[in-house]
Amino acid sequence: MLHIDAAALAGSVTEAGAADLIERALAGNLDPAADPGRTAVEATAGQLLLMPAVVPGYTGVKIATVAPGNPARGRPRIQGVYALFDGPTLTPVALLDAVALTAVRTPAVSAVAVRHLAPADARRLVVFGTGPQAWGHIMALRAVRPVDHVAVVGRGGTARFVDRCRAAGLTAVAAGPDAVGDADLVACCTSAREPLFPGRLVADHAVVVAVGSHEPSAREVDADLVARATVVVESRGAAEREAGDLILARESGAVREDHVAGDLADLVAGRIAPAPGRPALFKSVGMAWEDLVVAVAVYERIRDGGR
């Protein structure tokens, strides 16, 4: 059985490469609605999350832990492993770093949405957050649109993050939430439970991706934005269970139950498109099939010596 650590995983697939894997899987008729739901088990220090999935040839499960008190102890808030099994025999074939896997696949999913939703000349990005997901989203969105300017809205480490962006050849500044008014793209990559900015400020042509929460009581964007936007989700079922950004907007009366335009498979297939004169919102909660698609590619590449 292969043990694939964070460095090996990062060396085997980029966010852009993972976006191509995700899009090919959807174009090949993978059905996100068939994904088993996420199981959350309450633990002493937080939660244990189980995310199983099956694709032709393989089965896998992500086992992740969320411990809110860990940062105060100098440990990561989220940790975990990914177990990959051969499909025909269910023999374990690889154990991957789940945090590194998530850090690649989540921005990749956002990049697929942005590829189909955003104007071709989108170049001004606002990122909320300064962690791995924020950085991954910069790299992924830069791969699908000509992003050359990043405004960073963070609670800590913002100056270092801005310097990292500049070192990567971008113009970058620290900013406040109102920076969304000048943005072509907005990436929300936080653990916030309340809206990060007034949705009314978002430009009509802009695309917002919100990836930070998977709880019905937490949200990064407000009901104003949800009501204005063409809304796309990974899968309607997952969004109905977990997308607080949408659930809370519906409960407030701001939108109807049928407000979601479609899912990512619809977008890739060309069955839906952004409405003119309205922003677009892609709400992601993270799904098990995404992890499995990327894990299989990483495993096969390493198994075959990088070919």
Same domain, 72 and 213: no
Same domain, 90 and 124: no
pLDDT given for residue 257 in this prediction: 85
Domain count, the chain: 2
Q: Alpha-carbon distance 19 to 25, whole Å?
A: 10
Q: By the 8 A CB rule, do 288 and 38 touch? A: yes
pLDDT at 270 over 90: yes
Q: Alpha-carbon distance 118 to 179, whole Å?
A: 18
Same domain, 77 and 30: yes
Same domain, 53 and 157: no
How confident is the prediction for the chain on average, in pLDDT?
94
What is the DSSP code (8-state) at residue 87? Answer: T
Same domain, 46 and 121: no
Confidence class of residue 85 from pLDDT cuts 50, 70 and 90? very high
Same domain, 134 and 205: yes
Q: By the 8 A CB rule, do 138 and 148 touch? A: no
CATH of the domain at 78: 3.30.1780.10
CATH of the domain at 183: 3.40.50.720
Tokens 């009314």 identify what position?
Answer: 200
Give strand ranges (E) for the chain: 2-4, 39-43, 46-55, 58-66, 78-86, 92-97, 124-128, 149-153, 171-174, 185-188, 207-210, 230-233, 262-263, 280-283
Q: By the 8 A CB rule, do 275 and 23 touch? A: no
pLDDT in tens, 131-160: 999 999 999 999 999 999 999 999 888 999
Q: How far is CA 175 from the centre of its chain?
A: 22
Task: Give the angle subtended at the CA of 243 by the CAs of 285 and 123, to the nearest 5°.
Answer: 60
pTM of the model: 0.94
Same domain, 204 and 275: yes
Same domain, 281 and 143: yes
Among 225, 217, 230, 235, smallest CA distance to 188 is for 225
Same domain, 61 and 134: no
Task: Say which amino acid occupies 285.
Answer: V
Tokens 């995700």 identify what position?
Answer: 22
Residues near 150 by beta carbon (within 8 Å), at least 6 away in sequence: 125, 126, 127, 138, 162, 165, 170, 171, 172, 173
End-to-end CA distance of the chain: 19
Q: Alpha-carbon distance 49 to 54, whole Å?
A: 17
Domain, as residue range, for 274: 105-287
Q: By the 8 A CB rule, do 9 and 134 touch? A: no
pLDDT given for residue 123 in this prediction: 98
Task: Say which amino acid occupies 87.
Answer: G
Mean pLDDT of 173-188: 97
Same domain, 123 and 272: yes
pLDDT given for residue 11 in this prediction: 94
pLDDT at 10 over 70: yes
Same domain, 65 and 129: no
